[in-house]
Structure 1
Amino acid sequence: MTEEQRVHLSRSAPAAYKALDAFSREVGRLAAEGGIDDRLKEIVQIHVSQLNGCAFCVRVHVDRATRVGLTADTIAQIPTWRESGVFTARERAALELAEAFTFIHRGGIPDDIYDQAGGILTENEYVALSWILVAINAFNRVAIAGRYPVPARTDEA
């Protein structure tokens, strides 16, 4: 099958996609109430999308990240966050947790990562961040399976 012949899940099952979108909106509400700011939310969503190889979602979340004030330098540092000095301890714990959720099939959330995140994040932050990670991993799978084309830049003139 060519890309044009791929089943587009959101169009082929709009009710299911609408439910996923509603889930995502609820997760966004939970994130706001749980103390996860837009900067942190976009950093982890970009990283998960990069790890999963979802160019569609990377583009969407880079555009959102720039709208909430992330600089090009910070965004460029996300793949090398361990070596970078631009992320706070809280952001680093969230990035570690993002990797654990993305590669959960490799043994779940290891105790050291859980403990590290728990030592930095409140329980409400941990819960909200966990749901963000579940949601972005789901959206990545929908977009990757359908080979969704990378959307145009929202800031291009």
Structure 2
Amino acid sequence: MKVRLNHISASPGALQAMMKLEGFIKTSGLDAKLYEFIKIRASQINGCAYCIDMHTRDSRKMGETEQRIYLLNAWREAPFYSDKERVVLELTEAVTRISEQGVPQDLYERVRAHVDEAEYVAIIMAINTINAWNRIAISTGMFPEKE
């Protein structure tokens, strides 16, 4: 495999824009472990091997269990996630696949039962940010390095 282009050197301004999004999320109060779950789940849906590799490693470094990481793509069938994590993962799927059915009102209401308006916006921004990173990585041909 060969990277198509180095997006950082090709357009440093694009990287700066993405880093501003990351900065917003980091200062939003969104739980860092939950953000990693959002990143992993969206990356699984989008098929971004580079991001899946990066964020599963980051999640492990934060102390997340292997079992919870491995089962993210089957979170509905696994009893290891909190109610809040479940609705955020469902929202992650809905926003990542937004053209299929949007974000249904009942999902919005279930998420809002666990978060206030500001955290809802932070979660939406987190989902949008990882989707943008996935599209950058896939479009430029990024892939994980072998250990």
Q: Deviations over 1:86-123 (max 9, x none)?
A: 00000001000000110011232111211111122222
Aligned-residue CA RMSD (Å): 1.6
Corresponding position: 1:51 with 2:45? yes
The residue number in structure 2 matching 1:87 is: 81
The residue number in structure 2 matching 1:116 is: 110
The residue number in structure 1 matching 2:5 is: 7
Query: Is contact 1:28-1:132 (8 Å) kept?
Result: no
The residue number in structure 1 matching 2:68 is: 74
Identity of aligned residues (%): 32
Give the distance between the partners of 2:78 and 2:101, measured in 1 at CA: 27
**DSSP-derived class of the 1:120 partner:** coil
User: Among residues 91, 98, 107, which one is paired with 1:97 in the alignment?
Assistant: 91
Query: Is contact 1:60-1:151 (8 Å) kept?
Result: no
Corresponding position: 1:17 with 2:15? yes
Q: Unpaired segments of 5 or more residues in structure 1?
A: none
Q: Unpaired segments of 5 or more residues in structure 2?
A: none
User: Among residues 87, 106, 113, which one is paired with 2:100 in the alignment?
Assistant: 106
Give the distance between the partners of 1:13 and 1:3, measured in 2 at CA: 19
Q: State the number of aligned residues.
A: 147
The residue number in structure 1 matching 2:131 is: 137
Displacement of 1:124 after TM fit?
2.1
